Amino acid sequence: MRLLLMRHGQTHANVSGELDTAHPGLDLTDLGRAQAVAAAKALADERIDAIYVSSRVRTHQTAAPTAQARGLEPVQLDGLQEIAAGDFEMRNDHDAVAGYIGAVAAWLDGDLDHRMPGGETGEEFLARYDAAVRTIAEAGHEAVLVVSHGAALRTWASTRTAPSPQAPPAHQPLHNTALIVLDGDPRTGWELVSWQGHPVGGDFLEDPTAEDPTGDLDSDGDGEIG
């Protein structure tokens, strides 16, 4: 099957740089809604049999234009939610952002026992995301759009695809409405088809002034992760 993994559109927390991971989460900005509309147009020629979203409102809002255009009803799967910020929730100070980045970077380096302060370990995150993807695969669709979250998508896709010379490193951008495409299934594994780190609807939908703590990964812990 083909998985089209899209990060949600820009939210007010992305602009302010806050680590917004709890339910229900903040709404999309006007730019985020424009990104969602543009994404639906950009995906017009892609086969999409079903659309899955997390429980966070921003994924529902991002999926809505594509769902309306296809006559599909998005299916909510709780396992697709963002990596919980735990003790760093709704903070945007340097220590909180660096702590969040550091925990996810440790998972990407293979230390899956590391625990996000006040949150989950890498093993726990992968287990619940794997379970959500298995549910999607078992539905029998050939092509599925999953609207999820930056750090979650980066970590799961980087961990669950085989390394290859063509595969971008985990620190590549994954901005709002960026798109990762995978082929495969939970039993045989996943192959990375493409990693488009910028808005699928076009680079003109970027907001270079936004803090966006879940858009890029800085290996020194001073930047951002998505």
pLDDT value at position 168? Answer: 55
Q: State the total domains in the chain.
A: 1
| Other beta carbons within 10 Å of 14 | 29
Classify the C-alpha dihedral 15-88-81-102 as positive or negative: positive
Give me the CATH number covering residue 194. Answer: 3.40.50.1240
Residue 223 has pLDDT above 50, yes or no: no
- pLDDT winner (highest mean) among 5-19, 160-174, 207-221: 5-19
pLDDT tens track for 193-207:
999 999 999 887 888
- What is the C-alpha to C-alpha distance for residues 91 and 88, in angstroms, rounded to an integer? 6
Expressed as residue numbers, the domain containing 53 is: 11-140+156-205
Residue 165 φ then ψ, to 5°: -60, -25
Active site members: 8, 82
pLDDT value at position 15? Answer: 95
The average pLDDT across 61-90 equals: 98
pLDDT tens track for 88-142:
999 999 999 999 999 999 999 999 999 999 999 999 999 999 999 999 999 999 9
Bridge partners, residue 180, by sequence: 5, 195
pTM of the model: 0.92
In a domain, 57, yes or no: yes
In a domain, 37, yes or no: yes
In a domain, 5, yes or no: no
pLDDT band at 222 (very low <50, low <70, confident <90, very high): very low
Query: Does 186 sit behind a cis peptide bond, omega within 30 degrees of 0 on the bond before it?
Result: no
